[in-house]
Amino acid sequence: MIEDAHEVDDDQESLDALTLGRNIRARRKESGLTLEQLAAKIDRAPSQLSAIENGRREPKLTMIRRIAQALGTSAASLLDIHEVGEREALEIAVERAQRGPVFQTLGIEPIRVSSATNDETLRAVLALHEEVTRLHRERAATPEEARRTNTELRKDMRVRNNYFAELEAHAKELLAVSGYTGGPVSQRTVADIAERLGYSLHYVNDLPHSTRSVVDKRNGRIYLGSHGNTRYSRTPIVRALASIVCGHEEPTGYDEFLRQRVEANYLAGAVLVPEEPAVAFLENARKQRQISMEDLRDAFAVSYEMAAHRFTNLATERLDIPVHFMKVHESGTLIKAYENDHVRFPSDVLGAFEGATVCRRWTARTVFGQADRFNPWYQYTDMPDGRTYWCTSRIEGAKEGDFSVSVGVPFDEVKWFRGRDTPHRTRSWCPEESCCRSAPDDLGEKWGHNAWPEAATPTSLLAALPTGTFPGVDSLRVFEFLERHEKPGRS
């Protein structure tokens, strides 16, 4: 039933009023009636009927029935959106756009939509509005939205046990055609995979600073930085190939961009630490109760972080071991996290882990206090919920500072791991302030009102979330780079 305008939800009111108005106008013209003639039939002023036809006033049901009777139709027909013709639908779309919040913030006087306004003008106005809306939505992207998107992705990874069967299949096929037979995947094997996919590798000194690699699909080239000739230089090649193998299109939103990045990283791990050899290696280590991230790293000549990531891909699905993973900055900020063993990571109100502060008593933080940076740090941590977790952690350096990379399991699973005999043990009460975030009484009393530190504000704190098709990438620089290297004689 149609209620008074002030009793109807705004969006529904706009939709019903505009649909109703355009249907009334169309039926009136079909009947050969002028605005004044129909107004006389329903005993209303022409100005009132005009407001109804323009969707600026929504009549009560009794009035709709009177109008329907005067036009020889039904009230239901006048309210049916499917009764709206192509021209009327265009007018409704433009009217709705002009009444929307994005258009209102522009401070532009809306155009008067009438029968005299041609279709081309209406389509142009609508197209402009859609583009402004797109830019508004892009610029309105906030860190909260990014974290929300990331949280949804983490939930999906948890359901899958962080195991992507389709990507494992892609990796297996790529390795098979390249003739891989076992052991670490060589640079030559990776280059052969690229060649079989129709791409040549080019190492350059002028790779755009905002990129790790650039794929030239036009000429079948993959550009990489010339300084990356280490055992880890295989990783950006495979990540670059992921867009081709997975059939990635230009991302239409931040969620798609994030998912593509996860798939690229996963495929790189699945190629460089192949599933079947890795599982065989880990099963043998489990029999000896000597599972170790360092051994997995060394067996396949990858970084410690990739070995830890890869372990989370295979641990639950193939070894039936629940697990969690953390990458934590030396400041205590959680950068990456994954769990399916019920460990309670710190999180914000949106449930996002990334950006939260990790308890000082957790392995991922206590490792920073150890003098030995060459050997893994093992520790048991008792949690407030009564559970105990064992973790192994290492520190890795990067241009942004030091990071700890940690892999942990519930107490019942530690029997399979090297380092289970560690004497190191702590207890965490976080998120209680008394655990590690509030100073002891004597220090608080002495310095609470006598300290005024200036924060070393991260450069990203006030920066907007990177926008564009590929967030954070300077597209103009990339296009200029490709144009330079397409010329004969450049490689």
Residue 463 has pLDDT above 80, yes or no: no
Buried b (16+ CB within 10 A) or exposed e, 149-176: bbbeebeebeeebbbbeebbebbeebbe
Please identify which residue in the block is written with the tokens 């593509």. 260
Angle at the Cα of 22 from the Cα atoms of 20 and 27, rounded to 5 degrees: 95
- HSE (CB half, 13 Å, CA atoms) of 76? 0
Read off the pLDDT of residues 347-404 as tens digits, 9 standing for 90 and up: 876 677 878 899 999 999 999 999 988 889 999 999 999 999 999 999 998 878 899 9
- Average pLDDT on 64-70 reads 89
**pLDDT band for position 477 (50/70/90)?**
confident
Whether 53 maps to a domain, the answer reads yes
Q: Residues with Cβ < 8 Å from 454, sequence gap 6 or more?
A: none
CA nearest neighbour of 34 among 111, 112, 115: 115
Whether 357 maps to a domain, the answer reads no
Whether 135 maps to a domain, the answer reads yes
Q: How far apart are CA 377 and CA 407, in angstroms?
A: 11
Please identify which residue in the block is written with the tokens 């992207």. 141
Whether 13 maps to a domain, the answer reads yes
Q: Considering Cα of 214, then 256, then 258, then 323, what sign does the dihedral take?
A: negative
Read off the pLDDT of residues 87-113 as tens digits, 9 standing for 90 and up: 878 888 888 888 777 777 677 788 888
Angle between helices 46-53 and 10-30 (to 10 degrees): 120
Contact 278, 172 (CB under 8 A): no
- Pairing mode, strands 221-225 and 213-216: antiparallel
Give the residue numbers spanning the domain of 12. 5-139
Q: How far apart are CA 59 and CA 44, in angstroms?
A: 12
Whether 98 maps to a domain, the answer reads yes
Residue 468 has pLDDT above 70, yes or no: no
Whether 152 maps to a domain, the answer reads no
- What letter would DSSP give residue 449? T
The count of residues in the chain is 491
What is the SS3 assignment for 290?
Answer: coil
Report the pLDDT value the prediction gives residue 453, as an integer from 0 to 100: 75
What DSSP assignment string belongs to 356-370? PBPPTTSHHHHGGG-
Q: What is the 3-state secondary structure (H, E, C) of 411-444?
A: HHHHHHECCCCCCCEEECCCCCHHHHCCCCHHHH
For residue 478, give both structure tokens.
Answer: 């990339």
- Average pLDDT on 176-187 reads 91
Query: Which amino acid, residue 157?
Result: M
CA distances from 111 to 52, 95, 102, 103, 278 (A): 18, 9, 15, 12, 65
Q: Which residue has the higher pLDDT, 80 or 152?
A: 152
Whether 369 maps to a domain, the answer reads no
User: Which CATH number does the domain housing residue 50 bear?
Assistant: 1.10.260.40
Report the pLDDT value the prediction gives residue 229, as an integer from 0 to 100: 47
For the chain, give the percent of residues with pLDDT over 90: 41
For all residues of the chain together, what is the average pLDDT? 84
Whether 33 maps to a domain, the answer reads yes
Structural domain count, the chain? 1
